[in-house]
Structure 1
Amino acid sequence: MKNKRNRLQVISEILRSTLVGSQEELLRILSERQCEVTQATLSRDLKLLKVAKTPLSNGAYKYILPAYNKPLPSTGTVNTLISHGAVLSMEFSGQLGVVKTKPGYASAIAWDIDNKATDHVLGTIAGDDTILVIPREGVTRDDILEMMNITFSEKD
């Protein structure tokens, strides 16, 4: 699987639903899902996802995702994410939007924006807690806010 974003999503889904104790085991599960990846790439992916290994009561170990990597609400609107505390604010500089999130949420929210707002958004760039939203030509701030289901009051 060449698409890194999709691969990271598959790894996250596996770790949420399956008890995985080693990279070899995870590589085997990925291979069963037709997701061929090298051990080195998997190691980098686990580091990027901030996966930790925790001991179990039987002496074995289990890979776990950090708490902020838990699945976001399925409705996917930014309003829902705000109500869950993931999105903290959105401001504009010219036509560019800057979304501030809790640490660790920016990539997932940017991915959602990129996949659900293709008519309005050319693309996003995400860090750990900040997203740059780049609107398409002719799309206004109000269009972006409406698309994201956010109502902001004017600042004084």
Structure 2
Amino acid sequence: MKVKNDRLEALRMIISSQELGSQEELLTALKQEGFTLTQATLSRDLKQLKVAKAASMRGNYVYVLPNDTMYKRVSTPHSVREMLQVPGFLSINFSGNIGVIKTRPGYASSIAYNIDNSNIDDILGTIAGDDTILIVIKQGVHTQQVIDALSEVVPNMK
């Protein structure tokens, strides 16, 4: 299952960083990252990820991740291996008992999932978008306590 998860993560990275309009182009990009698979497997992966096609700014139809037809693409494409070496967490800020975590595009859901499943007593819950996580903190808890707890769950928080 690890290979499939790695492949799906690579596919997410490729789709978010390049404008590709055919499965052949996706297969080539995946092969460059070390993933050799059939067109049928790619089709199943695309279906699982709920990938769609949408018009790009240039008028071409390209693959996009769900719920974001105008997905934020990086201007200079990097390899998946390079992107995976950079953590998704960017910053955290607080206002009262609310915290806002900024992430790289596409990382908020998985980071929020990890936070929610770590059962941090000081955090009541999270809401995640594409690159932003809203965290609700128990009343009276100091932000440093939250940061200390989150640093156990979120890589490169400290």
TM-score, normalising length from structure 1? 0.48
TM-score, normalising length from structure 2? 0.48
